Each structure stands twice: as structure tokens, then as C-alpha cells.
Amino acid sequence: MGLNYDFYQNPLPKSGNRKARLHARVIPQGTIDLEEIAELIHESNTMTTADVKGVLAALTRLMSKKLLNGYRIHLEGLGYFQLTLSCPPIETPKEIRAESVRVKSVTYRPDTIMKKEFGKAHCNRVKEKSHSSNYSETEIDKILATYFMDNTYITNRQFQRICALTPSTAYRKLTQLMAAGKLKRSPLHKTLYEPTKNHSQQ
């Protein structure tokens, strides 16, 4: 199948007359969760799905514990994991208290074996644009008004589809619509959104 990609514009510098440049970005095909990973591993050996999920859950707990105790973890064939820290800018160590130093993230460096697998990747330029549309707030309001004529709620994925938005942009715009009092979370589930009276009357 290979990797699907598209080109995105780099952020423009605040000063200077440099032209906008583009960078290639992988278009995600979806998210593989623990359930699917367990099923896929189960298909290739005699372990049950429950056994695989148990092992992966135990691995997750163990890795978290060891990382938080200052260890770097190496999973042969997969790669290295290590915690990174963040703290306010300082000039000398005496300027900061230990409470101000926090865990920032987990860095991952793939093993040589995995890097070689990455070298086999086939990259395909997507035919349909994966960028978010440039609909104005008024246009999005009209799209939603039409949608809610036949539907009582909307999900993030449905909002992405009808407004041609990327997942992150859709989430941001949904948050803005709720802040503006146009949408609210449905009492049925926190991932569902309903129009408020203000929006339904537009």
C-alpha cells in the first residue's frame, strides 16, 4: 500500500520577505489501537488475543515504571525510549526548584532493524487534497445548519467529512463553536455534539 503524503505550507516567518515553502507530510490512514494490535499478533502465533493484550498491558506498565525511575529502555528490533524534561529558562542551577522541572515527553529512536524496514517504504502523492478547507465561519454555520435539518447530533469525524477538515482543525473549530455558544456536548456521549438554540435558529 505504501505511504500516502501531501504537501503543506511551512509557517511564514514574522519578518523578512522569504517565500512560503512546502514540506511533505504523511497522511494518516487511521489509528491502530491495542485491540487491533492484539488481534494481528494473535493471527501470527498461538497466543490468544487476551494473552497478547495482557502482555502488552504489562509491558506498558513496566516501561512507565522504569522510565520514571530514570532508565532508558531498549526493545531489540523496535528501538530506544527515554524521558525528556522541561523547565523554565535559567542561567544557573540555583535559580530553579526541583518542583519546576517536569517530564515533557518520551523520545523514541528506532532500532537499526526497523530503520532498514523504513527504507523499503513506497511513497504515494495523494490525489485528493488532505488540507483543511478554507470555509469561513459563516459558511461552516450554513453547512452545519443544513446538516442538523436531518440529524440531531454530529461527531468529530462527521464534522471533518462535511466541512473537509483535518482531524486537528476539526477539533479546534468544534471547540470554537462551543465557546461561541453554537454547539454543546450531547448528554448521550461526550464525543457527540448538538446544536444550541442559537445555532438551530440561524
Domains of the chain: 137-200 (1.10.10.10)
The type of residue at 195 is: P
For 184, the 3-state DSSP assignment is strand
At 183, the pLDDT band (50, 70, 90 cuts) reads very high
At 66, the pLDDT band (50, 70, 90 cuts) reads very high
What confidence score (pLDDT) does residue 73 get?
Answer: 92
At 128, the pLDDT band (50, 70, 90 cuts) reads low
At 96, the pLDDT band (50, 70, 90 cuts) reads low
Mean pLDDT of 141-147: 91
Contacts of 186 (CB under 8 A, 6+ apart): 153, 192, 193, 194
Nearest to 202 by CA among 149, 135, 157: 149
Number of residues that make up the chain:
202
At 132, the pLDDT band (50, 70, 90 cuts) reads low
For 151, the 3-state DSSP assignment is coil
What confidence score (pLDDT) does residue 121 get?
Answer: 86
Helix (H) or strand (E) holding 192: strand 192-195
14 vs 138, higher pLDDT = 138
Mean pLDDT of 110-135: 78
Mean pLDDT of 43-55: 90
Question: What average pLDDT does the structure give for the chain?
Answer: 82
At 122, the pLDDT band (50, 70, 90 cuts) reads confident
The type of residue at 192 is: L
The CA distance from 137 to 135, in Å, is 7
Lowest mean pLDDT among 22-26, 71-75, 99-103, 111-115: 22-26
Helix (H) or strand (E) holding 156: helix 156-163
- Residue identified by cell 486537528 is 168
What confidence score (pLDDT) does residue 20 get?
Answer: 67
Q: Tell the burial category of 143 from Cβ atoms under 10 Å away from its Cβ (0-12, 13-18, 19+).
A: middle
Mean pLDDT of 59-85: 91
5 phi and psi angles, rounded to 5 deg: -140, 165
C-alpha cell at 144: 452545519
